[in-house]
Amino acid sequence: PPIQPRTEGEQLPLSWAQERLWFLNQLEGSSATYNMPGAYRITGKLDVNALQQTLSEIVRRHEVLHTSFQTEDGIPIQVIHPEATMTINRVDLRQLEETECETVLQQQAQLEATTPFNLEIAPLIRCSLLQLGNTEYLVLLTMHHIVSDGWSMGIFIQELSSLYQAFSAGEVSPLAELPIQYADFALWQRQWLSGEVLETQLNYWKQQLAGVPKLLQLPTDRPRPLVQTYRGKTQSFSLNTELTQQLQTLSQDHDTTLFMTLLAAFATLLCRYSDQEDIVIGSPIANRNHSGIEPLIGCFVNTLVIRTDLSGNPSFLQLLRRVRSVALDAYAHQDVPFEKLVEQLQPERSLSYQPLCQVFFNMLTLPKTQQELSGLKVEPYYMGETIGSKFDLTLYASEEKHEIQLTLVYNADLFSPERMIVLLNQFHHLLTQIVAAPDQPICFYSLVTPESKHLLPDPKAVLSEPQYKLVSTMFTSWAKRTPEKPAISQGSSTWNYGELSQTATTLAKVLLAHGIKPGEVVALSGVRSFGLIASMLGIFLSGGVLLNIDPKLPSHRQQIMLQQSKAQYIIYVGSQPLDDESIGNSLVNICIAPKTGEVINSQQDVSQVTHLPEIASDDPAYIFFTSGSTGVPKGVLGSHKGLSHFLTWQRQTFEIAEQDRIAQLTGLSFDVVLRDIFLPLTSGATLCLPPEEEILEPTRILSWLESERISVLHTVPTLGQSWLTNVPPGVSLSSLRWLFFAGEPLLGTLVQQWREAFPQAGEIVNLYGPTETTLAKCCYRVPDEPSSGIQPVGLPLPETQALVLGGNNQLCGIGEEGEIVIRTPFCSLGYINASEENLSRFVKNPFGNDQQDWLYYTGDRGRYHRDGSLEILGRLDHQVKIRGVRIELEEIEAVLDRHPGVLQSVVIATEDVIGDKRLVAYVVISEQSLTTQQLREFLSLRLPEYMVPSAFVTLETIPLTPNGKVDRKALPKPDRDISRDHEYIAPRTPSEERIANIFASVLGVQKVGIHDNFFVLGGHSLLATQVISRLRETFQMELPLRSLFEKPTVAGLSDRIETLRLALTQGSQREVTVGNGRKEIEI
């Protein structure tokens, strides 16, 4: 219907677009975000009076330019002020020197562009005239977006030119009066776009945008602020004439516009950057499809939400057809204002990003307007970085002189200029490939640009394989050179290199006397001690393969490891064998004294063993088991050369030498224990073993590190974080030269907290590498100013490549997500019991023909930084890490499903508190009487403690996605309330009340009863250290960490504390029976 002039006295509503801008102004307060600045240098004899008359006439002609925005009863309205005029602000700069003048110009331009408007005061347009010389001027013109848009600026310039020409010649205005005004349009829009018309168009958008992703996850250089600041910067790029012509031809040949072709290419780039196939991009449309509003100045522009489906790896031509179809549908339903869409769809709102779309594409096709005034030369003037960024990214494209000009406006709070330069280069590289082969699947286009090629690894390059000295050779060399040098220190005891070498050699001979053959597996279990270390070396020297068995593992797990590894020998260090003594009945048993390394039970004559076997670098050295998705742990077989490669690199790179004292804190089950033990012993340094009691207690371990003057330390971030909760007085760690973090993502906040707590400590290094690739394969020295969030893992070791490969096995470009694939001749020898995974994970390098050139597909997601370093993004599967330990959730599910009362199970990892990951099991049960405690006990007999979920949730059914897969996002959050298998009994004494409060505080639960088990409530070993630390402080007594493991309930702990308190009060000593029948004197 036609737009009619309004009747006098009507209350004037805002248009939909104005209403949103008004709301944003209310939300943000005084802001220049939606200013529309322009600057023009004028040369010639300017008639200032004619210019003033011209601007006043334009303001008079267009009511919107003398409109303010008031509020009545909370509702915004337009108020037109007939008397409002605009006066030019004149500034005379003729007296300034040229260089000073240019500086002032930039300052004035910045000030003009960034000074906010008050929407309640008309006019919302202003002009400054800076006179630089007698015939040199700079005009600064600024409007608020609520009264203008890009098309309007063209109208403004046209009218300015016509009116100035007339007024400077003393003539009257040649322009006809406008039949309707912007306020008429606003009224018409409100009346027409309602009822059935609105409903029809809204239905399309509701269907089109159903389930739209809330956020496009682009890689950023800085964390997203809680509140968007709109601080913008720009980067530009030109596509040459040839490429521009090829893009135009491609568009014409396939019945599309250049806009659609560029949009499809941009969506492809965003897909590769975000690893999302559902890409939503906003795009403006002039919204002047009514002839009556074409000559009006005002905010008519609308935003269309273009949703592009890139699933199924279409060819570019197929994608182009999809984009064409979606764009044409959007044009057909363009009347619904973006603001109305947001109101109706109600997407999840955030102050930190725009709703529905965070990326914008604007193909500038505004009418060409000549920037000229009668008798004057007019040129645009660059105002510097005055532009705001309303979206994360806005890509402007325009055709100028047969070339496409690209301007990228980006949120400077999120992105660095360097990253944006890379992005534009990749877009250019992508477009050149598209025009050359438009029928190619989009995943085949490479984002490795000529500019970045030298930063990224070449998977075709030949990797050298130097011969490194083996661990046994390096250790023996130090033992011969410095036999009196301390090799191992534990408490008040020290063992030198000569003693360690002699003991290890003797143990090797014992194994040889028992008939061990090269490559046969020797299991090793026992306490952290001199005897344990000597046994490891002895196994290596004998040609055997080391298999560590942590005595704390469930006997079922120990049995699986022995069976899967086909172990034939087992060495026990200490008097306490494995929990289930029958486990080793079929093996050759050797018992070792922890402090001397002497064989306790073997009568073998070793005099007949005259020499030790020669070990080859390719020979197997050890087996470590990692979690397996089938329910059986996978055994990784490592070689001697892989171990030597890493230790040689670490020793040389970080100058590990004889004066270093290196701590061994890692448990026996994990391959990194080899790094802790053999780095010092192959460097002539001292290996420091803490007493068993001290291992997990944060305050004690820090004091131990201080007193032992530890200079090199390896740990996982979660442990490091736990140590910082209560730093003892006097601990500075000033002797610590290197702190190596590995095993899980390292956060910048932890780095900062560590450095604040220990400013005298040395450097921090982040290591990365799965067990399958031998210890670590990437390294990052954390700088003085760490980046926010997760730290990179840096660059690969020598003779190693860290490839990031896309779905088509193509090398990813900078910023593009893919799977991390390790290439090195020093990888492990594969799995001993997972033939299918061997085939899928260890793959011959497809980029070459060398039969010995293998790649290991890690399953980790990653991408390259702009310097070529590596960033970890998570997993491609459901594998997780809990406190540095790798866990296949499917293994827990497989064990749970074996319980006769469980019909189906799903296990996930949650992180309600940053740094505290918990496992949660969801089960569908067939027996209503089945309790959480029974499930926990069932798993505890079969899995390590760290793999037992801290919470169990019973469901009637497991939620599924439309394609039948488990919908993990639909799983309910575990209730923090406690579900008990026993009656709740409140604390009865002040002691029990204090303990219960500590349990509740540490675990984040309510109302802990006296019989509630700390570990059943979700506690784990690290949280246990926090509880013990608080109990010591609360009760002012020395309480061993094991107390909580032996008495994990409030009542049990209270009894233990009262017993200790009574002994202290009586000033006596008494013998107390503790775990495993041991007796200790507690004072």
CATH of the domain at 411: 3.30.559.30
Which pLDDT score is estimated for 696? Answer: 56
Q: 76-113 b/e with 16+ CB inside 10 Å = b?
A: bbbebeeebebebeeeebeeeeeeebeeebeebbeebb
Contact at 8 Å (CB) between 141 and 39? Answer: yes
Which pLDDT score is estimated for 28? Answer: 78
Instruction: Pull the structure tokens for residue 715.
Output: 């740990």
Q: What is the pLDDT of residues 381-428, one digit of tens each?
A: 876 665 778 899 999 999 888 899 999 999 999 999 999 999 999 999
Domain membership of residue 756 (yes or no) is no
Which pLDDT score is estimated for 986? Answer: 84
pTM exceeds 0.75: yes
User: Which range has the worst mean pLDDT, 165-169, 320-324, 940-944?
Assistant: 940-944
Contact at 8 Å (CB) between 222 and 277? Answer: no
Helix axes 471-481, 673-681, angle to 10 degrees: 30
Q: How confident is the model at residue 639 (pLDDT cuts 50, 70, 90)?
A: very high
Instruction: Pull the structure tokens for residue 244.
Output: 């521009």
Contact at 8 Å (CB) between 297 and 147? Answer: yes
Is the per-residue pLDDT at 692 higher than 80? no
Q: What is the pLDDT of residues 63-107, one digit of tens each?
A: 999 999 998 888 899 999 988 788 999 999 989 888 888 889 888
**Residue 319 backbone phi and psi in degrees, to 5:** -65, -40
Which pLDDT score is estimated for 903? Answer: 85
872 with 886, same domain: the answer is no
29 with 160, same domain: the answer is yes
Instruction: Pull the structure tokens for residue 732.
Output: 């500075």
Q: How confident is the model at residue 747 (pLDDT cuts 50, 70, 90)?
A: confident
Task: Look over the chain and give the mean of its residue pLDDT values, rounded to a whole number.
Answer: 88
Domain membership of residue 166 (yes or no) is yes
Q: What CA–CA distance (Å, rounded) separates 106 from 140?
A: 11
Find the mean pLDDT for residues 520-539. 95
49 with 180, same domain: the answer is yes
User: Which range has the worst mean pLDDT, 523-537, 668-682, 1006-1020?
Assistant: 1006-1020
- Pick 891 or 505 by higher pLDDT: 505
Q: Which run of H or of E encompasses 105? A: helix 98-114
Is the per-residue pLDDT at 1069 higher than 50? no
Most confident of 257-261, 363-367, 869-873: 257-261
Residue from 48, 112, 43 nearest 104 by CA: 112
Which pLDDT score is estimated for 182? Answer: 95
Is the per-residue pLDDT at 576 higher than 90? no
Q: How confident is the model at residue 166 (pLDDT cuts 50, 70, 90)?
A: very high
Q: What CA–CA distance (Å, rounded) separates 238 from 397?
A: 9
Q: How confident is the model at residue 1072 (pLDDT cuts 50, 70, 90)?
A: very low
Q: How confident is the model at residue 544 (pLDDT cuts 50, 70, 90)?
A: very high
Cα distances (angstroms) measured from residue 326 to each of 264, 286, 329, 644, 755: 11, 18, 5, 58, 53
Is the per-residue pLDDT at 159 higher than 90? yes
Find the mean pLDDT for residues 1071-1077. 42
- Dihedral sign (CA 332, 334, 340, 345): positive
Which pLDDT score is estimated for 575? Answer: 67
- Tell me the percentage of the chain whose pLDDT exceeds 70: 94
317 with 354, same domain: the answer is yes
Q: Cα torsion at 265, 270, 276, 281 (round to 10°)?
A: -80
Q: What CA–CA distance (Å, rounded) separates 67 from 155?
A: 18
Q: What CA–CA distance (Å, rounded) separates 646 from 868?
A: 21
Residues β-bridged to residue 283? 304
Q: What CA–CA distance (Å, rounded) separates 378 from 873?
A: 51
Q: What CA–CA distance (Å, rounded) separates 822 from 805?
A: 10
Residue at which a domain ends, from 877, 903, 931: 877
Which pLDDT score is estimated for 337? Answer: 86
Q: Cα torsion at 452, 457, 460, 463 (round to 10°)?
A: 150
Q: How confident is the model at residue 977 (pLDDT cuts 50, 70, 90)?
A: low
Find the mean pLDDT for residues 662-676. 91
Provide the number of structural domains found in the chain: 5
Q: Which spans in 169-280 are helix H?
A: 182-192, 195-208, 241-253, 258-274
Cα distances (angstroms) measured from residue 999 to each of 723, 929, 1035: 19, 27, 15
Angle CA 386–391–395, to nearest 5 = 80
> Three-state SS across 472-496?
HHHHHHHHHHCCCCEEEEECCEEEE
45 with 131, same domain: the answer is yes
Find the mean pLDDT for residues 701-714. 94
Q: Is 561 helix (H, G, I), strand (E, B) or coil?
A: helix
Is the per-residue pLDDT at 539 higher than 60? yes
Instruction: Pull the structure tokens for residue 299.
Output: 């905010």
Which pLDDT score is estimated for 1079? Answer: 38
Domain membership of residue 895 (yes or no) is yes
Q: What CA–CA distance (Å, rounded) separates 864 from 671?
A: 27
891 with 848, same domain: the answer is no
- Pick 273 or 927 by higher pLDDT: 273
Please report the DSSP string for 653-669 in residue order. Answer: HTT--TT-EEE----TT
- Pick 597 or 1007 by higher pLDDT: 597
Residue from 310, 306, 269, 283 nearest 419 by CA: 269
Domain membership of residue 899 (yes or no) is yes
Q: How confident is the model at residue 662 (pLDDT cuts 50, 70, 90)?
A: very high
Q: Which residues contact 203 (CB under 8 A, 6 or more apart)?
A: none
What range does the domain containing 1050 cover? Answer: 990-1082
134 with 34, same domain: the answer is yes
Please report the DSSP string for 62-95 in residue order. Answer: -GGGGEEEEEETTEEEEEE-TT-----EEEE-TT
Domain membership of residue 514 (yes or no) is no
Which pLDDT score is estimated for 1073? Answer: 44
860 with 927, same domain: the answer is no
Residue from 551, 541, 543, 589 nearest 569 by CA: 589
Find the mean pLDDT for residues 116-130. 94
901 with 811, same domain: the answer is no
Q: What is the pLDDT of residues 316-343, one digit of tens each?
A: 999 999 999 999 999 999 988 888 888 8
1011 with 1045, same domain: the answer is yes
Domain at 866, CATH number: 2.30.38.10
Q: What CA–CA distance (Å, rounded) separates 400 from 1042?
A: 76
Is the per-residue pLDDT at 887 higher than 70? yes
Q: How confident is the model at residue 978 (pLDDT cuts 50, 70, 90)?
A: low
Contact at 8 Å (CB) between 338 and 20? Answer: yes
869 with 894, same domain: the answer is no
Q: Which residues contact 184 (CB under 8 A, 6 or more apart)?
A: 3, 4, 5, 6
Which pLDDT score is estimated for 900? Answer: 84
Domain membership of residue 794 (yes or no) is no
54 with 95, same domain: the answer is yes
Pairing type for strands 89-92 and 545-548 reads unpaired
Which pLDDT score is estimated for 1010? Answer: 84
Q: How confident is the model at residue 1075 (pLDDT cuts 50, 70, 90)?
A: very low
Q: What CA–CA distance (Å, rounded) separates 620 from 486?
A: 29
User: Which range has the worst mean pLDDT, 146-155, 314-323, 389-398, 595-604?
Assistant: 595-604
Residue at which a domain ends, from 970, 998, 1015: 970
Q: What CA–CA distance (Å, rounded) separates 394 from 423?
A: 12
- Pick 1018 or 764 by higher pLDDT: 764
Q: What CA–CA distance (Å, rounded) separates 588 from 568?
A: 6
DSSP state of 976: S
Instruction: Pull the structure tokens for residue 265.
Output: 């290419």
Domain membership of residue 1016 (yes or no) is yes
Domain membership of residue 953 (yes or no) is yes
Q: How confident is the model at residue 1071 (pLDDT cuts 50, 70, 90)?
A: very low
Which pLDDT score is estimated for 577? Answer: 61
Residue at which a domain ends, from 861, 877, 893: 877
